Amino acid sequence: MQERKSSLQQLDYTLLFLMFILMCISLLAIYSASGQYAVDPSYFVIRQVIWFAVGAIIIAGVMFIDYDFFKNLTIPVYGFGMLLLLVVEFFGVYRNGAQRWINLGITEIQPSEFMKIFLILALAHLLYKVTSNRKDTSIQGDLMLLLKVLALGVPPFFLILKQPDLGTALVIASIIAVMLLMSGIRWRILFFMFFMMVFGIVALVWLHNNYFDIFSIFIKSHQLDRIYGWLDPDGDTSGIGYQLNLAIQGIGSGQFYGSGFMQGVQTQSDTLPEIHTDFIFAAIGEEFGFFGAMILLVTYFLLFYRMIMIALTCNNLYGSYLVAGVIGLLVFQVFQNIAMTIGLMPITGLALPFISYGGSALLTNMLAMGIVLNVNLRTKHYMFEAKESVTE
């Protein structure tokens, strides 16, 4: 009884409260945005509530297990995830120019969503094993660590990119980058990787201008259309720039306080596709204005700040790496989704975490938050703390 009381006291209620705020924002935005798709606006809201309820059960289940046990699952879940991605590659369902799903008869699953979590578990275990008993702190040791991380991260990255699913592939890259940063690897190596990424982008631009046939191997036609629409949204307002132009118009018309709940022109007129999923931020910006958008952004900021503090105060390196992976997972999705809606980034199919309608992405993110809450629940705080060092 005393142990249960102690666990309840250790539970991070701040994190739970912030997630509750995001859930309320999600249900309000989906109710308003989905009215154009169904006779009853509550059609999608009821389903989203069910997904949130299932996610809450998942969080409770994950918190029940000591996160150290996840180390035993590393090889099986990573191997299972790679197997699912290979099944998608050869037998996946092809729809809307992409092959991302597996048909199970009664439903379809998108393995790339599960792979995000599986990769976090695998990289956290790898980094923990290498850095907690590290003797070679030379640059050669850092390069060996980098090669091991890439050996785990590159295969799912390219399999997902090949589907093609650039958005999820970039999430995988973000997870790898944040966890490498947490590992204490030399900055010069990170800068070199950044330089190579920039070089790759420049090389793609050169191929586009000089050898388009080779360029088309890496970038598919519909992805290229999204890039064209991002670079010149006014060039074809009825075609490739259609979604972005309408999203910007909707957000701009919201001004400071918004047009009011269920009063947005773009939100209610059935003109902006996927407004209850990928473009949910446009509905929030139009109907709740700058004020409502800032409430959402501040909530995200506090959520990420709390997660960063959990990662830094955890006295177990494995737990810190797990939380760092979740931070990489969520921060990039928030940045990419909002940035694409206001024209700062090309449009991808990434949902806005905890806000957009949809089951697979929401359950993945809830599972990730369960891992964070688990780590905090089992972090013991002492007056004089000695955290494991990455150089020990």
Residue range 278-292: mean pLDDT, rounded: 91
Please state, in angstroms and rounded to a whole number, the distance separating the CA atoms of residues 172 and 120: 9
Is 304 in contact with 310 (CB distance < 8 Å)? no
> Which residue in the block uniquely carries the two structure tokens 């850095």?
131
Q: Which parts of the chain are beta strand (E)? A: 93-95, 98-103, 108-109
Residue 337 inside a domain? The answer is yes
Residue 108 lies in a domain: yes
Alpha helices, H only, the chain: 2-10, 13-33, 42-64, 74-91, 111-132, 139-161, 166-182, 187-210, 212-218, 221-231, 242-254, 265-268, 280-313, 317-341, 359-377
pTM as predicted: 0.88
Q: What CA–CA distance (Å, rounded) separates 346 from 133?
A: 42
Greatest CA separation for the chain:
71
Give the C-alpha separation, 322 to 67, whole Å.
Answer: 9
The pLDDT tens digits for 301-324 are: 999 999 999 998 888 899 999 999
Quick check: 29 pLDDT over 80?
A: yes
Given the structure tokens 């209620």, which residue do they identify? 13
Residue 309 within any structural domain of the chain: yes
List pLDDT tens digits, range 208-243: 888 888 888 777 777 787 788 777 777 666 667 778
7, part of any domain: yes
Residue 94 in domain: yes
Residue 392 is assigned to a structural domain of this protein: no
Q: How far is CA 150 from CA 139, 157, 173, 193, in A?
A: 16, 10, 10, 11
Give how many domains the chain has, as a whole number.
1
What does 136-167 look like in DSSP terms, one character per residue?
A: --SHHHHHHHHHHHHHHHHHHHHHHHTTT-HH
Asked whether the CA dihedral 114, 117, 123, 126 is positive or negative, the reply is negative
- Over residues 145-168, mean pLDDT: 89
Tens-digit pLDDT profile for residues 50-107 = 999 999 999 999 988 888 888 888 999 999 999 999 998 888 888 777 788 888 777 7
Structural domain containing residue 114? 2-377
